[in-house]
Structure 1
Amino acid sequence: MTRMAGLFSAWAMLLISIMVVITLPCNAAQPLDDETAKIVSGIEATYAQKSFSADFEQTSRLTALDVTETAKGKAWFSHPGKMKWAYQSSDNHEIITNGTDLWIYRPEENQVMTGDAAPFFQSGSGGAFLADIRKIREAFTIEPDKSGENVAQLVLTPKKETPELAKVRIMVTLPGYEIPVVETENIYGDTTKFIFTNIRFVPFDEQIFEFTPPPGTEIIEMDR
């Protein structure tokens, strides 16, 4: 496996980690100061139960090896917990979930990793926070970070930490309450940063969250 493929496989596992954090039982949502509560409410109003797509640029850094890789592509999200990430780089691949099943498809290797996502999504009730923004208050401790007139930043700390996900930092535009930047960090200090552009809240064919392997594709079952 190439170094870049290793980084992006790690990102697939990070997606699963976010899903696990969101579906684990958590304490009641924390009380927020007025300004932070206003920002979170604005995010919820913008994203909750809506479908959207965006172009993205990804920068992944492995701190211990001092390795940084970049990629770009397009992503689609739909409530609850449906996502598709289509990478357009030297390591073209797709990460797809309908909230129940998960596929990681590498066409150049003629290979797809597939698994039952139910243990991660609890029968589809959860997903990465962009695909089910309503979970953000329950799954994370939310703290304000540096903010300006047209932008706010929040630090999200999982209430149930996993090795793959220790912290999430998001940038929020004001007054539109869109999220153009998401940066995740694991317990080792490795980071993955996404910059989202062309964010569009428009309906699309949700068949894109389903995947049928082309004939002859090697199918690898992931551990349950």
Structure 2
Amino acid sequence: MNKYFLKITFFSIFALATGLFPVNKAVLCKESANVKTLDEILLEIEKADGEFKTMKADIVITRTIPLLDSTEVSQGKLQYKKPDRLLLKFDPPRDEVNIIDGKHIWVYHPKEKQVEKYSVTREKQTAQDINFFGFGYGESVASARKDYTISLMDTTQIKGKRFYVLDLLPKDTSSQYKEIRLWIEEGLWLPVKIELHESGGEVINLIEFDHIKLNSRISDKLFVFDVPRGVEVIEPFQ
């Protein structure tokens, strides 16, 4: 299983391709009096987190290695149910199904007729390397403050929507991600874009969500993986 994918699927993980649209500086300046402080933003995030139970969204994951001029883009659909259920279906050419059922992580490759199975422990779910997934989507702001130095990096206005860019620096220097940036949409008050910097910026993982729907009814059966006949089950850490 790709280590990069294992980390991002637990977030905080969940957007708009905001970098594609120019910022209307005139509008931003005019409305700057209403811009919130970092503490106010974090308070809104905590309120929003308490109100949402499920999430559906289109997702685009882009992994870039600038030194190698390498870019890998995966698109798919995500469904998430608190506290620990997730379904992520990637479109071709990746053509992959990822399910977290609360106890196991399943990574299914239909073409290869193989599925990778990983155990999920509470310790893994709360490890700092993946705790950013919970920030805004399950973990408390107090927990995020404990693990990260958080700052308000930027405020932008795009097509009538305001976004706050938060910068998170892990206090644990051994963390896989040396820097995390969250784009928080005003009104939604949840991350709609996540940027993860590995190896001092040598590898950049970008997660973008679009068409976000909160609190739709999602059955627990959706997160049950029944191994198809003829499919090999691989357990790498057994």
TM-score range, shorter chain: 0.7 to 0.9
Cα separation, partners in 2 of 1:107 and 1:13, compared to 1, 3 Å: same
Pair 1:11-2:15 in alignment: no
- Which 4+ residue blocks in structure 1 deviate beyond 6 angstroms? 16-19
Match of 2:186 in 1: 174
- Report if the CA contact (8 A) 1:78-1:131 is conserved: no
Match of 1:132 in 2: 138
Pair 1:121-2:135 in alignment: no
**Deviation digits for residues 69-108 of structure 1 (CA, Å, limit 9, x no counterpart):** 1121111222223222211130111222123211111111
- Measure the CA separation in 2 of the matches of 1:211 and 1:172: 32
Match of 2:16 in 1: none
- Measure the CA separation in 2 of the matches of 1:39 and 1:81: 25
Match of 1:204 in 2: 218
| Alignment-mate amino acid for residue 12 of structure 1 | F
Deviation at 1:136, TM superposition (A): 3.1
Match of 1:89 in 2: 92
Cα separation, partners in 2 of 1:113 and 1:170, compared to 1, 3 Å: same
Match of 1:43 in 2: 45
Cα separation, partners in 2 of 1:156 and 1:47, compared to 1, 3 Å: same
Choose 1 or 2 for highest CA Rg.
2
**Deviation digits for residues 1-25 of structure 1 (CA, Å, limit 9, x no counterpart):** xxxxxxx824223337869xxxxxx
Deviation at 1:139, TM superposition (A): 3.2
Secondary structure of the residue that 2:64 maps to in structure 1?
A: strand
Cα separation, partners in 2 of 1:139 and 1:98, compared to 1, 3 Å: farther
Cα separation, partners in 2 of 1:160 and 1:144, compared to 1, 3 Å: same
Deviation at 1:143, TM superposition (A): 1.2
Q: Which residue of 52, 58, 62 maps to 2:55?
A: 52
- Measure the CA separation in 1 of the matches of 2:11 and 2:218: 24
- Measure the CA separation in 1 of the matches of 2:148 and 2:120: 21
- Measure the CA separation in 1 of the matches of 2:9 and 2:56: 20
Normalized against structure 1, the TM-score is what?
Answer: 0.78
- Measure the CA separation in 2 of the matches of 1:198 and 1:16: 18
- Report if the CA contact (8 A) 2:11-2:137 is conserved: no
Unaligned runs of 5+ in 1: 1-7, 20-33
Match of 1:216 in 2: 230
Q: Which residue of 52, 60, 64 maps to 1:61?
A: 64
The Cα RMSD (Å) is: 2.6
**Deviation digits for residues 135-194 of structure 1 (CA, Å, limit 9, x no counterpart):** 433433211111135111001223334453222111111133132211111124211112
Secondary structure of the residue that 1:39 maps to in structure 2?
A: helix
- Report if the CA contact (8 A) 2:118-2:236 is conserved: yes
- Measure the CA separation in 2 of the matches of 1:74 and 1:17: 15
Q: Which residue of 154, 172, 192 maps to 2:205?
A: 192
- Measure the CA separation in 2 of the matches of 1:170 and 1:42: 14
- Measure the CA separation in 2 of the matches of 1:110 and 1:151: 42
Pair 1:153-2:145 in alignment: no
- Measure the CA separation in 2 of the matches of 1:54 and 1:199: 4
